[in-house]
């Protein structure tokens, strides 16, 4: 079976185009396996959780939660981390290709800065994602407990504790999710770029090749003849 895939074309850098094509090709095939794992984990979690509020089989329940967490981590890597890494490596290739006349040490320094910034962004994204996912998972458990409590009461069984406990847990966990997603209120800051995002910061010693300038988007120092900013990846030329 043939799977179609898309990739970015870089007319001035065939190496970047080939890298993008190879990355998108493997991602297209990997999405099939990823979909099966995700669906299987969701079904297994729902079945085991519904069964837990009846027989209280802790081993089966904890196994379902572990499976769901593992599937979520795989999803996070495939959907967030891997595309970020691919984009970072393409920026590295473009940086190497567009700055060939610079010293190798300077090019390596810029590439290393790109990779460090990418790792930092991946870590920050994960630290925002995982707590929200984990609380959402237990919020789903509380919802299932509530449904099971209603089911028990409808069949004249003892389910009041499950119903009330589930409702209270849903309220608390939903509030925590809202707080995490909302995040802290940003503090007002003063920036030389606040007046206009379009006005570049005046370059320092930008008359010769290899001199220092500044990115007009983030204000980071860059070489005056660089094509991309090493910090934010913005095309500056």
Distance, CA of 91 to CA of 97 (rounded, Å) = 10
pLDDT of residue 114: 92
Is 164 in the same domain as 92?
A: yes
Tell me which of 64-73, 78-87, 123-132, 208-217 is least confident. 208-217
3 part of a folded domain? no
195 class by beta-carbon count within 10 Å (0-12 exposed, 13-18 middle, 19+ buried): exposed
Q: Are residues 139 and 47 in the same domain?
A: yes
Domain co-membership, 206 together with 153:
no
Structural domain harbouring 218: 200-237
Q: Is residue 31 part of a domain?
A: yes
| Signed CA dihedral, 184, 190, 193, 195: sign only | positive
pLDDT digits (tens, 9 = 90+) for 140-158: 999 999 999 999 999 888 8
pLDDT digits (tens, 9 = 90+) for 13-51: 899 999 998 888 888 778 888 888 999 999 999 999 999
163-198 tens-digit pLDDT: 999 999 999 999 999 988 886 655 555 443 344 444
Share of the chain above pLDDT 70, in %: 83
| Domain match, 131 and 228 both | no
Q: Is residue 209 situated within a structural domain?
A: yes
Is residue 217's pLDDT more than 70? Answer: yes
The verdict on 137 and 26 lying in the same domain is yes
Are 51 and 152 in the same domain? yes
pLDDT at 5: 56
Please check whether residues 217 and 180 belong to one and the same domain.
no
Same domain? 114 vs 212? no
User: Is 2 within the bounds of a domain?
Assistant: no
From CA 3, how far away is CA 171, in angstroms rounded? 44
Taking 70 as the threshold, does the pLDDT of residue 98 lie above it?
yes
Number of domains present in the structure of the chain: 2
| 215 and 173 in a common domain | no
24 CB-contact burial (10 Å; exposed 0-12 / middle 13-18 / buried 19+): middle
What does pLDDT average to over the chain? 82
Q: Does residue 203 have a pLDDT over 70?
A: no
Contact present, 78 and 66 (Cβ < 8 Å): no
Is 143 found in the same domain as 229?
Answer: no
Residue 208 reports pLDDT greater than 70:
no
Whether 216 and 129 map to the same domain: the answer is no
Return d(Cα 116, Cα 143) in angstroms, integer: 41
Note the pLDDT of residue 28.
77
For residues 38 and 153, membership in a common domain is answered with yes
């Amino acid at each position: 079976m043939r799977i179609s895939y898309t990739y970015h074309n870089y007319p001035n850098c065939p190496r970047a185009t080939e890298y993008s094509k190879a990355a998108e090709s493997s991602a297209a095939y990997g999405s099939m396996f990823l979909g099966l794992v995700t669906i299987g984990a969701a079904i297994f979690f729902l079945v085991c959780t519904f069964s837990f509020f009846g027989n209280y089989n802790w081993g089966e329940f904890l196994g379902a939660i572990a499976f769901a967490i593992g599937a979520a981590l795989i999803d996070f890597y495939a959907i967030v981390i891997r595309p970020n890494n691919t984009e970072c490596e393409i920026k590295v290739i473009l940086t190497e290709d567009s700055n060939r006349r610079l010293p190798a040490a300077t090019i390596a320094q810029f590439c290393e800065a790109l990779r460090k910034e990418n790792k930092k962004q991946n870590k920050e994204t994960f630290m925002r994602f995982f707590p929200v996912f984990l609380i959402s998972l237990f919020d789903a458990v509380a919802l299932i407990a509530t449904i099971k409590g209603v089911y028990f009461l409808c069949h004249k069984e003892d389910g009041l504790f499950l119903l009330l406990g589930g409702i209270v847990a849903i309220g608390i966990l939903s509030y925590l999710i809202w707080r995490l997603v909302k995040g802290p209120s940003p503090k007002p800051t003063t920036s030389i770029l606040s007046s206009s995002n379009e006005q570049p910061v005046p370059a320092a010693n930008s008359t010769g090749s290899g001199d220092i300038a500044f990115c007009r988007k983030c204000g980071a120092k860059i070489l005056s003849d660089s094509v991309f900013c090493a910090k934010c990846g913005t095309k500056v030329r």
